[in-house]
Each structure stands twice: as C-alpha cells, then as structure tokens.
Chains A and B, each alone.
Chain A
Amino acid sequence: MTKTVRYFTVPSEQQEPIKDVPPKTVRKPRKNIHKHKNKVKPNRKVPLKRIPNPNPKFPGRAPIPEELLEKHSRGEGIDKSGIRTRIHKKKQFDRDLSYEFAQKQAARVEILLTEESGILEADPGETTTQFRQNEIIKNVDITAATKHFELVLRDFGPYRLDYTRNGRHLALGGKLGHVAAFDWVTKKLHFEINVMESVHDICWLHVETMLAVAQKDWVYIYDNQGIELHCLKSLDKVTQMQFLPYHFLLATANDVGYLSWLDVSIGEIVVQYNAKLGRINMMTQNPYNAVLCVGSSNGVVSMWAPNTRDPLAKMLCHKSAISALHIDPKGLYMATAGNDRKLKIWDIRSLTEPLQIYRLQSSANNVALSQKQMLAISMGNVVEVYRDCCTTTANRAYLRHRFNNSVANLNFCPYEDVLGVGSDKGFTSLLVPGAGEANFDAFEANPYQTKSQRKESEVKSLLEKIPSDLISLDPTKISEVDVPSLREKVEATKKLLFVKPPKINYDPRKKAKGKGGSVKIARNKKILQQQAKKEHIKTAKALKSHLLNQRKGNGTQTNKQKSKPKNVLDRFLPKQKSEK
C-alpha cells in the first residue's frame, strides 16, 4: 500500500526527528588513533597529470539529431531471449550493433546533402501564379534558363514524352510517327526518325541507349542511334507502356485490354492476360511496389501485378470516369482526376479516404506529381502547378502556363526543376522552381553518369534484378515468414478431403527365367495399386471422422456447460451413449 501523503506533511528529510542511531552514540575515536595519525602521514605525494579540459568549448563528436536517427531507423532490435544459445546471442548482438552503426552513419552522412530545393517567393501583393516563364527566366542563372525551351513541331501531332530515370535524356513520340531522343540538357540529338506508323507511347528502358516505342501494331525497341533492335510482336496494339526498372519489366496495356509484362533482360513475356477492363487509356506504375495502376471509365482504379490475374486491389475513386492518374515517385500519393471535374489525392499505402479533394473548373486531362510532391494538371491548353497539395490543402496555383494548343502529355523531369509538356504542336520544357529532388543518389540515378558508370550500373542492376513474382502491394513481404492464415489452413483441410489416391509407379523386378510371366507382373501391379488406394481411403475416412468429431466435440462441450446439475433421479433416465 502506498503511503498517503497529507497536505501538512513535509518532505521526509525534515520529518525524521527520531533516528534509529542518533549521532551521539557514536563514540569518538580514541586518542591513540590520533597519535597514529600524527605518526604516520598519508602518502600525499600525488603526480600531476595533464588531462583534457573537462568542459571544453566544442566537446566530442557532434550529436546526431533525433529525427534523423528516426528517419534511418530500421526498427527495434531483437529481444535477446528469443535466441537460443549464448554464442548466437552474442553474434546477433554484434550484428545489431552494426545495424545501429549503419543507422548512425546514414544519419551523419545527411550533412553531405547540401543542395536545397528552391522556391518562388512572391512579394506582398503578388502571387506566384502571375509569374510567367519569361519572367522566371530573367531572374535565374543562365544554366537554369537554358532548361526552358520550346520545340515547335507542327506536323506530327500530339506528342508523348518520357524522361530517363536520371532525368538527363528525353524521348518524344509524335502521334504521326515522329520519334526523337536527345540529351535535353545539352540539346544533343541522339536520333530523329519517322517510323511511318502511328506512335501511341514511348518509353525508355533501363539505360538511355534503348527505348521502346508502341507503334500501330507492335512495340519496337530502338537504340540511341535510331536503329531498330527488336520488334515485339507479342505486344500488339499497345496503348500505354511503363518500364519497371528494378524488375526489368516492360509493362504494356493493350487496345483490347490485355496487360502484359515483358522481361527485357531475357526478352520473354512473363505473363499476359486480359484485365477485362476494355480499352486501357491510362496506366501508371507505383514506384514503391511496381504495381500497375489502371484507371477505368467506371471510376475505379485497379492495381495489377504479374502474379495474379485478378487485380490486387480495386478502389472506387470517382463517381465518374477517370480522366488521369499519376503516382508520385516516392510512392506515397496518388493523384486522380475524374470527369466530374474533381481531383483527389490519395494515400496510396493505406488506400483509405482521399487526403484532399479539389474541385476544378474543368476536368483535367493529365496529372503529374513531382519528386517534391508538386502537382501539375493540364486542362485543355492550360497547365497549372500546385505546391503542398497532398497533406495540406492548396488554395492557389503555384504556377500557370497557357499554351496555344491543347496539352497531350506532361511529365516532371527527375532531379530537375522542369516540367515537360507535350502538346499538339510541339514540346515545351517549363521551369517549375522546387519541383525536383535537389540531392541525387549517384548509385541510384546519376544525371552526370559516364559511359563506364552506366555500364557498371547496368550490370549491377541486372544482378540485383527482382523476380516478377515479388510484385505485390506490400514490397516488404519478402522479409516475412510465411505463416499460414486461418483461411489457408481451412482450405488445406478442405483439400485433404478430396485428394485422389496416389498413382503407384511400379517397376517390376527383373524376373528370373521361368518364374511368372507378364500376367503375374500385371496382377502384382494391380494388387499394389489397390492396396495403396485402400490405405488412402482409410486415411481419408479417418480424417473425415476426425473433422466431424471435432465439430461434435465442440458441440458437446457447449452442451456440457449448459447441462443441469446432477439429480438423484437421473439414474432412471434412459442411458445416453457415451461419446468417445
């Protein structure tokens, strides 16, 4: 019981008037001790030692900020009691230490991320919306200014575009067959051809030396000289393409609604099936888990993976047809636009209610999210960019640009503050300050990659290729132990009931001469097979009875609980069969 403390009690130091051992009782040391003291002097000769200042101005190593540690945390360590022998405990402890070291190191190294993303700041009374591109260009340095350019391509009509993963190269595909690829920063053209067929989509593969073009009938792969490397006839009438870089899969959607995944490293189709959605007009990938998201005319976004023929998830996003969707490069948010003139932002990991709902003046044709979660929308000939629109509600456009023809496609350039817009009559690169990630990871995507680096990274990424089976909603699934769920257990027991008797492979011994002919062998075979069948039936029966008994057992238990207390006259009741 806790001691009750009253208002008049004071802290215990004052409140202990009576001690068990009053100090008076302690006898003073006898005098002879003093004598001793006088005689024997303690050794007071102490060497002076120089030690560093206990309160230095700049002590030790700089502490790591908590939030950074939190950011790089890999979760709690193991409870030591969960490991069996002492030696293994020690080993695991050491391993945990190295994890901790990695976490700290990663947190420390953040100091090297010196680049900061910029932003447009408006003077009082102004808004950033009113800034035009030419005004922005006037106020930025010359290298940034060169990143805004316009290509007027009147003849080959609405253009689709794709940036490489490091944001250095750009591929353009005009509807009427114009295909071009160039280093857009230096404006160095790789190639420019007309494929003399309609071009529906264009997509870079894992390196900038290869790109896939979805043409009228089939998908073609060209190199950066414009030489046709492959013609993929198994991918026909493709409307949309996505490249999954970690799996080396080229995912395509078909005019008829077929989804197919082609492994570009071995050139084989992994899986191809009909999604039963009709013509697929819009498709995007979730970079977080490499799942394809397809928007359809009934307002549903469905998510597809190569390992099942049913969608992994279906989500009703709009109450009308979906007109555009895009998922941000980190795989956190999904932006969907519908014909109901609404634009919604979703948390793609939790898949619950939308984070934001925006009502637009007209329905959006294209949406794109940048690395810093800026949102670009195109409506007819107008492109608008919004900032901080995912977790917080944006009220006003960050930037606005008006074209003189309608916008066909738009995409943010990774690691650059650039928005590429493909329109009916050309391509425009718009400056959007603060759109791209300022610090790039050179191991992951290096805009300044040399040829040898490219080769090396290609080999490395090939070695680290993830099998397509692992594509699922939860990419961390692989680090789990396969524990069968209740449903799986139930299904397993169900299956057991209907297992066919096993076939027996009977290899007869080589018979000695004159000892039984083929008839005997056949008979023996039959006998064995029947034996096996009998045995199987027996086990199946046992299993059935076991299952039934289980149910009964449960029933009797409940009955027992309900049963009345014993009565003397119970003995005259008819005897009940005892259940075993």
Chain B
Amino acid sequence: MAEGKLIKNVLNLNKKITYPKPSRTEPRTEVSEFNLVKSEKGKSNVRVTDLTNALKKVSKQAKVRQRIQSFEKKVKPLPKPLEKVKADRIHRSTAFGKVTKHLDRWNAVVTSNRASNHLTFPLQDDLNLESGKNFTTFRIKSDLQKRLEACDGPSEEVTLEKESKYPLTMQEMLERRKEMMKMKIIESQKAAKARRQKKIKSKKYHRIQRREKTKNQIKEFEGLQQSNPEEALKKLDEIERVRVEERASLRHRNTGKWAKNKQIKAKYDSTNRQELAQQLAISRELTQKMNMDESHSESEEENRTSEVSVNNPNNPWVNQIKTSEEVETFLKGYRKFWEERNSGNEAKVSEVSTDISVPNEVVINENDITEENISNTVKYKDTLSPIHKKKTQDEETTSSDFKETRKKISTSKKRPRDSTSTLKAENDTIPLSKCENTVCLATSHWEVGILSDTDEDECDDIDVLFEKYSDNFKKNLDEVKQSVKVTKKRAPKQKKEQQKAKKPKRNSEDLSFKIQAKRPIIDEPLDENVEVNGKREETGLSLALQQDTYQPTRATKNIDPNDIIRTKPTDLQTELPDLLDLDDNEENDDQRGAIVEAFQDDDIVESFQKEKHDEIESEKPKDINLFLPGWGSWGGPGVIQSKKKRQNRRFIIKFPKEFERKDENKGNLIINEKSNEKVKKHLVSDVPFPFKTVKDFEASIRAPVGNTFVPETAFRRMIKPAVATKLGTVIHPMTEEILLKTKG
C-alpha cells in the first residue's frame, strides 16, 4: 500500500494539484461565498438546469421549468462593461466621425469660396429670379422698332409647341420598358449564339454554313424574282459582290480550279510544282500585313475607280445592268454550278457550262480569274523593272520642269526659316502643287478589266504592249488634264490645305508601290501608272530625304550663309541731285564710288567674318589644367619639366565646346550672348507654387493686365479685388442656411 502510494505520489509529482469541486454535502443556511465563484472556464458551478431538474418530477411545476429553460436559452448574459479608457476612446472616435460628417457638409461651400476669384461680403443670397415669373415679356417698343416694323412687317415671333414633360403615360412607359427588355434578351441570346458559332474552329462546319447561307440567298432571290424583279436584281448584285469579295480576299490559295489542276499535275511535273510554289509565295507576300497608310490610298483609289468605272465599257463588274433573260440564264447556271461544285463533280462542270449560255461561261472564268491574274501580276512584276528604267529615262527628258521645281524647293528649304524665306518658299511651292495635282489625278484613272489569255504571251514584250495602248494613254491623259482644270476651278482656296494634307499621303503611297501592283485585276493603264508612279516615287523619296535632312533641330554648321540665294537687288530710277554747287562733289562722289566699288566686298566682309570667328572663339569655355608645376617631380635648377606631365589628362577638366549660338548660320551677324546679365536680376528664377513647369508659369503671365494694353472693361475685370466688403453692413459668419438651400 505504502509502495503504491509512493509510486502514485511520484507519478503525481509533475502534475498540477487539482482541487476538487466544492460540493455541498448537507443543506446549510449559510453558503460559503467562495464556493460560488465562477470556475476558470466560465462555467458556473451552479447550473440552472441542475436546479430545475428537481422540478422534473413535479408535473405541476413542469411549465415553470420549461419557461426557465427557454429563458436560459434565449437570454445571454450582458458582456462585461469596457474599461473606462477604452470606452472613452470609442466614444471619442465615434464623436469625431459624427462631427467630421457634420462639418463635411461645408466642404463644397468652402472650396467654392476659396476657388472664386472675387467674393463680395456679405455673401449674397441667390435671388430666385425666374425669367417668366418676375418680369413681364411685354416691352414698350422704341420708335426705331416701330418704324422698322412698318417697313419690314412685325418681327417674327414663332410659337412652338412645348413638349410636355412626360410624353407617355406610366402604363405606356412600363409597356415600352417590358418590350425593350424582351428585345434586349433576344439580342443577347443571338449574340451569344453567334459568338459560340464563331468560335467553332471546324472549317468544314463553316463551309457548310456558308453554303447554306448562299443557298438560302439564292432561294430568296428566286422568290423575289417572281414577286419583285427589281429587288431581285439588287439581291443578285449583293450575292455577286459577296462572292467577288470572297474571291478577292486572297484566302483561296489552292482551292481554285487552276490550282487544283496544278496540284494534280505537280505529282508528275516539276515545273508545275514550281509554279504552284511561286503562286503560294506570291499569295503570302500579298497577304502580309500592310502599312496603315495603305488603307488611305486604297480608299482613295476605290473612290476614283468608282467614279471612273462608270464610263468604262471593259469593266465586267460595272456592267451590271442586264436584261431579264440574261439574268435568268445566269442564275440558272449559277445555281447549277454551285450545286455541282458542292457535290464535288468537277468533271460535270464543263459539260454544264457548255450547255449554259455565254454569260455563264464568263462567270466561270471569273471564278478562276483571281489566280490567273495573280500569275499575270507576277509577270508584270518581273517586267516592271525594265519599264521603270525606261520611264525614268523618259522622265529625265520630259519632266524637266518637274525637276526645276524640285530644285527650287530644295534651295528654298535650305534657307533658315524666317519670314522672308517662308514667303519665297510659298511662292515656289505653288507650281509644284499644281504638278502634283496632275500626278495624283493620273492614278485615279484605273481601268479595271480582265486580261485575256493571249495577253499573257504579249506581256513579255512590253514595247508591243506599250504601242498597243499608247492611244489609250493619250486619251487618259487628256481626261486627266480636263479633270485637273475642273478641280482647279472648283477648289482654288482649298489647294493649300489639300497640299498639306496630301504630302504625307503621297509619300506613303509612293513607298507602298508594291501594294498597288498586287491589285488582282490590272489592265493596260498599268503602264501609264508605272510611268507616273516612277515619277512620283522619285519626287516622293526626294521630298522625304529633304525632310530628313531638314528636320534636325539644330541647324547644321556647314551651310555657308553666302550660298543662300539672296534677295535680288532692284534698280530704282531715282532722280539725280542737280544742284550746281554740288557738281564738284558729285564728280568726287563718282570717283569715290568707283574706288569703293573696286575695293569693295572682300576686305570688309572678311574682316567682319574674322571678328565673328574671334568672338565665337573667345566665348568658348576653356579647359582647366589642374597640374601643379613641381608637384611630384624633382625641382631645382637645370631640371626640365616634361611637357607630357603638363598635358596629363588626369589634371585637365574638360568642358563642352559646342554651344548653340543665336547668330549661328546668320551670316554677317554677331549677337552678344552675355548681354542679358543685368536683366536676370529682374527675372523670376524659380517656378512659383501652383505651377509645375517653367512653361506653365510663363503661360500664366503671358498676357498683360494694364489698361494701356487691354480694353478698359477687360482691365476692370482683371483687377477686380479678390474680396470686397460692402460698406456699412454687418458681415455675419455663414449660417447653415446656405447648406440647406436646394435648387429650384
């Protein structure tokens, strides 16, 4: 036993001594207050349930028990009251919040008062004056008014219906809203569907969709044909346009008939393979991302073509006015063709096409046109360079006037920008702009058509081609000239603006020469275009170059001011002084003049230039040599200082040599750079508070205020005092009434 107790004690050594729960063994009247203290875990020793359990058996008291239990469940004891410090803190913070909120109401008023440039105290209350209420519209007419009315009739006063405030009733509005909601839902559903469909990557799916669409369209068209032939024609146009667009989109690299044939042949023939590869390369080249500028040029050209194409008989796209028979036949063929294509029986196509009338053939050809034409363009491209060369040669002879103008411009651009030069430059540029107008318009006469197969062969020989279409060129040129005249007449004022606007465009056009060449259908005017383009390209490039050289902000130093074209001296027929007593002097004058003229120029100019040079040199900051003679070397008589040491770079502080001078490139002019020393003490040296940069501050003091500079009314307005007080009135502090005021 004792061992057991010992072991227990030993085991309990590390444990905390727990005291047993106080329990009452026998009823007493006095209850120890110590035993009623709550235990640590918040559970009271005396539980109500324990007490009520005693009532369990008494059915009479069941209700009481229940109530007590429910009461215990519902009611939770109040939390411990906070310490005073904490409570006060909370109190303060809430009070602060309240007060700030209260005061924040004043913010608007205060800022508006602070921001206003003029305040008059006492602050005026708004007089709620409404134009209709306080003033009658009736006015006594003046004599002049009466007389005018007598002459002109009474001045017109128009009565207009004022829209009622609520044009719809409540019911109507609700209805409308409902409808709108429905529409919105449908729309969003549709949009979601479209988005979903668009996301589908399957090409096949899309192809099927497209076919379905076209089928539907054709069906629709057929329906329309019987009911409304005019509409049907429009529909047909639309269909055709969509199709043409599709073909022109350059998406179909290898889906064309020609390409498919080639593909088949390519297995056996290497040349075919090559051609195909070339074709693909071209398509890749063409479908590369274009410059942004291109869109401009294209849109322009599009406009031009649309203008021109009307009078072009060669253009199949424009000749859309067809007889009903033609339309019918065309349609039949069209439908069949599509069906055949869909079924994939290409073999049948030829048969069918033979059955169908002539225009249908055209259509089929058209389908393949893009490919063919692309191949044509390739050839053109190859031939372009010789053409270009030739044309440039021609230009040298023909467009001499062009170059002259260009030269003029270049010379004028070299000159420093000042009022005189700009004046001259403007004069010079005017002829150029005229020329450029012609040039620009020359491109507008695109003629779009199909090249027949025979043309392909002829393409090799440019001269033949050239001769063939030379007549056409002349016609075109004449047209261009006429159009130029017309445009001149139309817009003489806008010329300058146009010129400005066109300049960048022109450059970009010229630089995007290739893009023009890749047009799907190119006809004979191409040659003319090449010619024109050649010219334009040159001018454009040269202009661009000139701009590049001209752009640097600092004028280049190597411009000799003497090279600049000077104003030409004009002879004035002044009268000679004819006084007798002056005659001797005059002879002397003449002699002197002769001498002066003989020894003129060089001496004076040279000496002035030398002066200028000296001035510039003297103002350049000199390097500082910090070398101390004798430092770090042996001294004494006979010791020679090495020059090397003196020139040691370690001791030389260098300063920049190049400073911008005001008189740079100004020829025979010296401007003293140091003359502003005394002005400086009057200037502001720091940017004052509300402004961030020098520029802003300078802008703020840009305008004078004095009445010698601005009109009196403006002057009065500018010098209006920031705060004015009304004499003889008490200025009360602001009241809350200001805040309570609401509009209207």
Contacts from A to B (Cβ < 8 Å): 1-10, 14-15, 17-18, 20-21, 25-27, 29, 33, 36-37, 40-54, 56, 74-79, 81-88, 90-92, 94-95, 98-99, 101-102, 105-106, 109, 298-300, 305, 307-308, 310-317, 319-320, 339-343, 347, 350-363, 377, 379-382, 384, 386, 391, 393-397, 400, 402, 404-406, 443-444, 464, 467, 469-470, 472-473, 477-483, 486-487, 490-491, 494, 497, 544, 547-548, 551
Closest to B132 in A: A49
Question: Which residues in A have their C-beta under 8 angstroms from that of B619?
Answer: 487
Contact: A9 with B245, CB < 8 Å?
yes
- Rounded to whole angstroms, the CA-CA distance of A571 and B111 in the bound complex is 70
Given known contacts A53-B158, A307-B678, A358-B572, A406 and B166 CB-to-CB distance under 8 angstroms: no
- Rounded to whole angstroms, the CA-CA distance of A56 and B419 in the bound complex is 44
Closest to B697 in A: A481
5 A-B contacts, Cβ less than 8 Å apart? A8-B244, A298-B607, A362-B589, A380-B576, A481-B683
Interchain nearest-CB distance for B168 vs A (Å): 6
Contact: A382 with B575, CB < 8 Å?
yes
Interchain nearest-CB distance for A485 vs B (Å): 8
Contact: B696 with A43, CB < 8 Å?
no
Interchain nearest-CB distance for A92 vs B (Å): 6
B338 contacts the other chain (CB 8 A):
no
B208 contacts the other chain (CB 8 A):
no
Which of B164, B605, B651 counts the most A-chain CB atoms under 10 A from its CB?
A: B164
- Rounded to whole angstroms, the CA-CA distance of A473 and B674 in the bound complex is 12
Question: Which residues in B have their C-beta under 8 angstroms from that of A352?
Answer: 416, 418, 420-421, 666-667, 669
- Rounded to whole angstroms, the CA-CA distance of A359 and B681 in the bound complex is 46
Contact: A40 with B171, CB < 8 Å?
yes
- Rounded to whole angstroms, the CA-CA distance of A319 and B117 in the bound complex is 59
Question: Which residues in A have their C-beta under 8 angstroms from that of B162?
Answer: 46-49
Interchain nearest-CB distance for A280 vs B (Å): 19
Question: Which residues in A have their C-beta under 8 angstroms from that of B655?
Answer: 490, 494
Q: Select A43's contact among B166, B605, B666, B691, beta carbons within 8 Å.
A: B166
Question: Which residues in B have their C-beta under 8 angstroms from that of A74?
Answer: 702-703
Contact: A102 with B190, CB < 8 Å?
no
Interchain nearest-CB distance for A576 vs B (Å): 16
Given known contacts A7-B448, A84-B689, A101 and B159 CB-to-CB distance under 8 angstroms: no
Give the number of residues in B that approach A within 8 Å (Cβ atoms).
145
Contact: B608 with A49, CB < 8 Å?
no
Question: Which residues in A have their C-beta under 8 angstroms from that of B116?
Answer: 94
Closest to B301 in A: A7
Contact: A21 with B164, CB < 8 Å?
no
Stretch at the interface among B181-189, B322-330, B546-554: B181-189
Contact: A308 with B677, CB < 8 Å?
yes
- Rounded to whole angstroms, the CA-CA distance of A477 and B678 in the bound complex is 12
Question: Which residues in B have their C-beta under 8 angstroms from that of A85?
Answer: 690
B358 contacts the other chain (CB 8 A):
no
Contact: A490 with B621, CB < 8 Å?
yes
Contact: B700 with A95, CB < 8 Å?
yes
Question: Which residues in A have their C-beta under 8 angstroms from that of B167?
Answer: 42
Question: Which residues in A have their C-beta under 8 angstroms from that of B420?
Answer: 347, 352-353, 355
- Rounded to whole angstroms, the CA-CA distance of A351 and B682 in the bound complex is 26
B238 contacts the other chain (CB 8 A):
yes
Contact: A478 with B175, CB < 8 Å?
no
Q: Select A359's contact among B571, B680, B693, beta carbons within 8 Å.
A: B571
Q: Select A40's contact among B158, B169, B706, beta carbons within 8 Å.
A: B169
Q: Which 5 A-B pairs have the closest CB atoms?
A: A380-B577, A82-B696, A102-B714, A316-B668, A88-B690
Contact: A308 with B675, CB < 8 Å?
yes
Q: Select B577's contact among A26, A300, A305, A406, beta carbons within 8 Å.
A: A406
B363 contacts the other chain (CB 8 A):
no
Contact: A490 with B656, CB < 8 Å?
yes
Given known contacts A307-B677, A377-B574, A76 and B160 CB-to-CB distance under 8 angstroms: no
Closest to B687 in A: A481
Interchain nearest-CB distance for B181 vs A (Å): 12
- Rounded to whole angstroms, the CA-CA distance of A391 and B114 in the bound complex is 52
Contact: B302 with A17, CB < 8 Å?
no
Question: Which residues in B have their C-beta under 8 angstroms from that of A3?
Answer: 295
Given known contacts A56-B156, A362-B574, A362-B589, A6 and B699 CB-to-CB distance under 8 angstroms: no
Contact: A479 with B698, CB < 8 Å?
yes
Contact: A105 with B299, CB < 8 Å?
no
B8 contacts the other chain (CB 8 A):
no
- Rounded to whole angstroms, the CA-CA distance of A149 and B162 in the bound complex is 73
Question: Which residues in A have their C-beta under 8 angstroms from that of B608?
Answer: 298, 300, 314, 316
Contact: A477 with B572, CB < 8 Å?
no
Interchain nearest-CB distance for A544 vs B (Å): 6
Question: Which residues in A have their C-beta under 8 angstroms from that of B667?
Answer: 352-353
Question: Which residues in A have their C-beta under 8 angstroms from that of B621?
Answer: 487, 490-491, 494
Question: Which residues in A have their C-beta under 8 angstroms from that of B605?
Answer: 316, 319
Question: Which residues in A have their C-beta under 8 angstroms from that of B213?
Answer: 18
Contact: A82 with B695, CB < 8 Å?
yes
Contact: B673 with A487, CB < 8 Å?
yes
Given known contacts A83-B691, A444-B708, A547 and B653 CB-to-CB distance under 8 angstroms: yes
B592 contacts the other chain (CB 8 A):
yes
Q: Select A75's contact among B217, B593, B699, beta carbons within 8 Å.
A: B699
Question: Which residues in A have their C-beta under 8 angstroms from that of B696?
Answer: 78-79, 82-83
Question: Which residues in A have their C-beta under 8 angstroms from that of B653?
Answer: 497, 544, 547-548, 551
- Rounded to whole angstroms, the CA-CA distance of A94 and B118 in the bound complex is 10
Contact: A53 with B156, CB < 8 Å?
yes
Question: Which residues in B have their C-beta under 8 angstroms from that of A547?
Answer: 653
Interchain nearest-CB distance for A85 vs B (Å): 7
Given known contacts A105-B714, A319-B605, A1 and B289 CB-to-CB distance under 8 angstroms: yes
- Rounded to whole angstroms, the CA-CA distance of A472 and B604 in the bound complex is 27
Interchain nearest-CB distance for B328 vs A (Å): 22
Contact: A548 with B164, CB < 8 Å?
no
Contact indicator per residue, chain B 648-676, by CB within 8 Å of chain A (1) or not (0) = 00110111100100010011111111111
Contact: B576 with A92, CB < 8 Å?
no
Which of B655, B701, B718 counts the most A-chain CB atoms under 10 A from its CB?
A: B655
Question: Which residues in A have their C-beta under 8 angstroms from that of B166?
Answer: 43
Question: Which residues in A have their C-beta under 8 angstroms from that of B670?
Answer: 311, 313-315
Question: Which residues in A have their C-beta under 8 angstroms from that of B573?
Answer: 361, 396-397
Contact: A94 with B567, CB < 8 Å?
no
- Rounded to whole angstroms, the CA-CA distance of A246 and B574 in the bound complex is 37
Interchain nearest-CB distance for A80 vs B (Å): 9
Contact: A356 with B570, CB < 8 Å?
yes
- Rounded to whole angstroms, the CA-CA distance of A391 and B650 in the bound complex is 57
Contact: B570 with A359, CB < 8 Å?
yes
Contact: A486 with B659, CB < 8 Å?
yes
Contact: B679 with A469, CB < 8 Å?
yes
Contact: A87 with B111, CB < 8 Å?
yes
- Rounded to whole angstroms, the CA-CA distance of A544 and B626 in the bound complex is 9
B508 contacts the other chain (CB 8 A):
no
B231 contacts the other chain (CB 8 A):
no
- Rounded to whole angstroms, the CA-CA distance of A395 and B295 in the bound complex is 52
B362 contacts the other chain (CB 8 A):
no
Contact: B115 with A91, CB < 8 Å?
yes
- Rounded to whole angstroms, the CA-CA distance of A279 and B352 in the bound complex is 109
- Rounded to whole angstroms, the CA-CA distance of A5 and B295 in the bound complex is 8
- Rounded to whole angstroms, the CA-CA distance of A327 and B179 in the bound complex is 80
- Rounded to whole angstroms, the CA-CA distance of A471 and B577 in the bound complex is 40
Contact: A470 with B682, CB < 8 Å?
yes
Contact: B157 with A357, CB < 8 Å?
no
B62 contacts the other chain (CB 8 A):
no
Contact: A350 with B418, CB < 8 Å?
yes
Interchain nearest-CB distance for B265 vs A (Å): 32
Given known contacts A352-B418, A487-B621, A48 and B714 CB-to-CB distance under 8 angstroms: no
Contact: B702 with A479, CB < 8 Å?
yes
- Rounded to whole angstroms, the CA-CA distance of A77 and B700 in the bound complex is 7
Question: Which residues in B have their C-beta under 8 angstroms from that of A298?
Answer: 604, 607-608
Question: Which residues in B have their C-beta under 8 angstroms from that of A311?
Answer: 670, 672
B694 contacts the other chain (CB 8 A):
yes
Question: Which residues in A have their C-beta under 8 angstroms from that of B600?
Answer: 319-320, 340
- Rounded to whole angstroms, the CA-CA distance of A361 and B702 in the bound complex is 47
Q: Select A347's contact among B169, B418, B678, beta carbons within 8 Å.
A: B418
